[in-house]
Structure 1
Amino acid sequence: MTLTRASRPLSAGVGNRNDQTRRHNLSTLLTMLHHGGAQTRAQLTRQAGLNRSTIGALVTELADLGLAYETDPQDSGLVGRPSPLVHANEKVVAITVNPDVDAITIGLVGLGAVLHKRIRFETAAVPTVRETVNVVSAVLAGMRTELEAQFRVVGVGVAIPGLVNSNDGTVLLAPHLGWRDEPVAAPLADALGFATRAANDAGLATVAESLYGSGRGVHDLVYLNGSASGIGGGVLAGGSMLRGSQGFAAELGHTLVNSRGERCHCGKTGCLETEVNLDRLLAVLGRDSLGLDELDELLLNETLAPDVRAEVDRQLDVLALAIGNFVSVFNPESVVLGGFLGSLYEANPERLRAAVRELTLGSLGETLRIDRAQLRSRLLTIGAAELAFGDLLADPAGTAF
């Protein structure tokens, strides 16, 4: 069901030099509010390096565009009139989609990474692209009144567990889903009426965690995401995402950890994702599927059954071996663990830290931080939203939606 016409970003280069500067400054200001939260005009003035009158004009324009608003100033205790707080408008939202082997998760995220809603629709079998489109269409049809009354939708971001051509939203290969050379963004855009973009889920999670979570302010980071589809990764090197010549770098789940292990779907034997595996955890827990919050509750129980504890520790030891390799290759400041890997880590964090220190080259492991992703179950939803917000943040005045 079509809710509105898909947005068409306009060029920020249109117009004279003054117009280009204004649009660039609008982009800077909205991005600061979106990533940094509510701030006073005085704070924005200092951070943007612009004068007060320019900031005032930009805030007014963002408010006129419906992208920001101000609230009464807070009493700072300082002499003089306190500055109003400027907020990104959380009612401007992105729809997010994350298909996996056992569920399709649909989210609604506002500017400022405000999570309004997340719906996990469990599937009886691995969903096809068509089934994914149908499920998302049906869920949004049920939300139509709410969407039209309360929100402005800027677009759709799709997080895919596989290799994705982010230029056209085609999935080149998502082996666990059985998708190969499948257009995903185009059929969703046609069905929903919103501009749609798709990218690899672990890459999007890396972006989200570096902006809003454990990786904030970290320039050299390895992110590992564990889901029902396996293990994906993302690497920040000097503050930039490592992409590779074709954009498919950091497939860290296919690192060799056991030459006598199981055969992986990729054709190799003993990949990380065959040894550190959600299905193996679920098997010893006696469950077919679990949400991340439920998995947390089970694994953080101090009285784990002996077979569960043994499997948790085995997987932690294998994960430590892989992390030791990543530390030698990338020399990160921090390793962040998301998805079920975060739950696994929390079940026995000191075991993993000690094993990594033992397995890293020289003293590299001594200064390494290992953190759980702070965004937890929101991670892929927030990451997919960043994808959808991209055009708006780049040119607030030139993006029609």
Structure 2
Amino acid sequence: MPKGTTEDVRRQNLAALLGRLYRGGPASRSSLGRHTGRNRSTIASLVFDLVDLGLVFERDPDPAGHVGRPSPVVSLCPGVCAIAVNPEIDALTIGLVGLDGGLRRLIRHEYARIPTAPEVLGITATVLAGMQAELDGLIVAGIGVAVPGQVRTDDGVVRNAPHLDWHDEPFGEPLAALTGRRVFVANDAALGALAEHDFGAGREHAHLIYLNGGASGIGGGVITAGRLLGGMSGYAGELGHVRVSSSPVVDSAGIAGTLEAEVTRAELMDALRLDRADSGQFEAALLADRTEQVAAIVERQLGHLGTALAAAINLFNPEVVALGGFLAALQAYHPAGLEHAVSASALAPSLEGVRITPAELGANLLMIGAAGLAFRPLLEDPASVAG
């Protein structure tokens, strides 16, 4: 039972209710009472407060199949949104995401060369200025930025993003100054974990590991007890740099024998004789090719992936391990091979009940994750929207 002042209790109750709607979707008052453990009169009062804050609305339910007076259905207001930003080596993607996880708008700005951090800041500010008429009248929780690199989350400084060639680049505070909005910056794979926890393979689970493989390397994120594990400065979850072999081959950080060094999309692309392919085309080509060469590469990469996953399972004791990008294709090629590789190095009690599965959210994952980062303060204290 929440403890503290009456106002503290109210804020915690509002957070519990809004969090349930955020992750579970529209629900009746009676259902919200069952899931949050609050009584009928408390739920009615909390819903009234959330309606007054402009965060939810109520509607009458479908009367079919109900006996007596049905409970009103509570839904998140469509006008509560966050802005998501993802700078990559070939394009800047900006999205407008609703509190319900729906992608309202997507803008992709391609560039001919890898931009500097100040250039991305300028492009982002210009795009958002052009969206101002669209944003008027909405409750915008803030801007979430997903960066492919290590980010100091306290102030949004990008410490090391090797593929962008950004090092110790201020990003959060300058973007806040340019836009007049709250800005939150974090590693892209960590935000992928957040999205999968809220809306994907980790729904209804408090402990999740997310590992993604892309053209630029392997990144990961960890959810423990329902919260994104950041560590002291926000650098936690760099599972791609876990050492899995004695090979001299180095990863993007110059570290030899790591998961990112040993398990690469580029090697598979070469074996499949593919120059370019989206994730769907790549997976289809991989699954169709059962030649000895490709099978040998997959077997070796699955062995290294299994070693890294076993180490993560031993460390974090998850319920779900979600694989994104080409890692999901590797698992699909030989599921039993990955299962064997993981079980060979994982502690048996830690492995009990763990489900290793493809990530569910697909192409919109980073937009949803970045927006989720911006929504966090609102979800923790819904009354703050009034401030």
TM tier, shorter chain? 0.7 to 0.9
Change (3 A) 1:366 1:397: closer
Structure 1 portions without partners, runs of 5+ = 1-15
Change (3 A) 1:280 1:184: farther
Aligned to 2:35: 47
1:129 aligns with 2:143: no
Question: When the two structures are superposed, what TM-score results if normalisation uses the length of structure 1?
Answer: 0.84
1:227-306 matches, cutoff 5 A: 227-286=214-273, 290-300=277-287, 302-303=288-289
CA distance in 2, matches of 1:50, 1:328: 37
**Aligned-partner residue type, residue 22 of structure 2:** H
Query: Share of identical aligned residues, percent?
Result: 46
**Aligned-partner residue type, residue 83 of structure 2:** I
1:107 aligns with 2:107: no
CA distance in 1, matches of 2:46, 2:207: 33
Q: How far off its partner does 1:109 sit?
A: 1.0
CA distance in 1, matches of 2:71, 2:244: 56
Q: CA RMSD in A?
A: 2.9
**Aligned-partner residue type, residue 355 of structure 2:** R
1:319 aligns with 2:305: yes
- SS of residue matched to 1:156: strand
Q: How far off its partner does 1:138 sit?
A: 4.0
Change (3 A) 1:183 1:257: same
4+ residue runs over 6 A deviation: none
Which deviations, in whole Å up to 9, do the C-alpha atoms of 1:96-138 show, x marking residues without a partner? 0112223322222101212223344343332321222233234
CA distance in 1, matches of 2:240, 2:135: 38
Aligned to 1:399: 385
Change (3 A) 1:313 1:288: same
Aligned to 1:6: none
CA distance in 2, matches of 1:220, 1:17: 31
Which deviations, in whole Å up to 9, do the C-alpha atoms of 1:335-357 show, x marking residues without a partner? 21123322333344333223333
Aligned to 1:11: none
CA distance in 2, matches of 1:70, 1:295: 45
- SS of residue matched to 1:25: helix
Which deviations, in whole Å up to 9, do the C-alpha atoms of 1:146-200 show, x marking residues without a partner? 3337x43221001122221111111122222221111111222223332111012
1:1-400 matches, cutoff 5 A: 17-75=5-63, 77-148=65-136, 151-286=138-273, 290-300=277-287, 302-303=288-289, 311-362=297-348, 367-400=353-386
Structure 2 portions without partners, runs of 5+ = none
Q: How far off its partner does 1:390 sit?
A: 1.7
Change (3 A) 1:131 1:308: farther
CA distance in 2, matches of 1:291, 1:112: 27
Q: Which moved more, 1:34-43 or 1:226-235?
A: 226-235
8 Å contact from structure 1 (residues 293, 377) kept in 2: no
Change (3 A) 1:50 1:358: closer
Aligned to 1:3: none
Higher relative contact order (CA 8 A, sep 6+): 1
CA distance in 2, matches of 1:24, 1:360: 38
Q: How far off its partner does 1:267 sit?
A: 3.0
8 Å contact from structure 2 (residues 243, 258) kept in 1: yes
8 Å contact from structure 1 (residues 316, 351) kept in 2: yes
Change (3 A) 1:133 1:305: farther
Query: How many pairs were matched up?
Result: 384
